[in-house]
Structure 1
Amino acid sequence: MLKNILISVPRNNITKVQSLFLSPKYLNKDIEKNYIVQTNSGVVLCWHPEQKIPYEHSLPIQKVAADFPSPISEGVRQRNPLRSFVGKGPTNKELQEIFYTNKNEWYTRTREEKLYQTSARIPKRK
């Protein structure tokens, strides 16, 4: 414990820190607890040991899908059949209505189309 603390202490305060932690006041302390100590010179020492977490608490949580259909989810699926598959935001039709634009603005373009539209024209040969 003392070795870990001495690494972060400036050189001129090492003797004071050693005498502080070797005093009977700190020898009988439990090293599993967190401690904060301030020396006379103003150096603050913090001891916080690594917490032991049981293995059962470190396992990932299993996601269980609901297999039983509820009347609400069935009604939503019937009204919006494509929504259950997409689920990544509003549809193109909704985007048109929100932003008052035409349909072409919301369709994806291939990389080549973007390059040709933003690059300079190809010069004509003579």
Structure 2
Amino acid sequence: MFTIIRRHLWTKLDKCEWQTVMCSNGVIACWHPPKQFPYEHSRPFNIKKALMEKENFLNRKGDETFGTNGPDDLALREIFYTEMQEWRPIYREKRLYRAKVDDELKPILSNPPNLPGLEGRASDEKDDKLPK
């Protein structure tokens, strides 16, 4: 039974147009002739319509599709074929970033920079101590 199926498959493969050969040095060479596309299956191409679509696409603003903030989570999910959770921010990372920014700003806010002419000046003092 197996030999009959194998003979049938080999006769089918012999009718193929492509050929595969193994050279004496171990290189495998394949030849795939180009297939002819039947004219009956082709359709005429409307160049004017294609040029109009191109002009319309180039004249369109990028904000029209996704708005000024970019695509939302659902649009990103459809574009990249992923789950929605990948596009949502992780709360832990947002909290760590917020804590890091607060730590960096504390020394700046607690010790304001000393500007020339304003040394030792309280906020309720008058402007008569400023150099003129």
Fold equivalence (TM over 0.5): no
The structure with the largest helix share of the pair is: 2
Q: Greater relative contact order (Cα 8 A, min sep 6): structure 1 or 2?
A: 1
Q: Compute the TM-score of the two structures, normalised by the length of structure 1.
A: 0.26
Q: Which one has a bigger Cα radius of gyration? A: 2
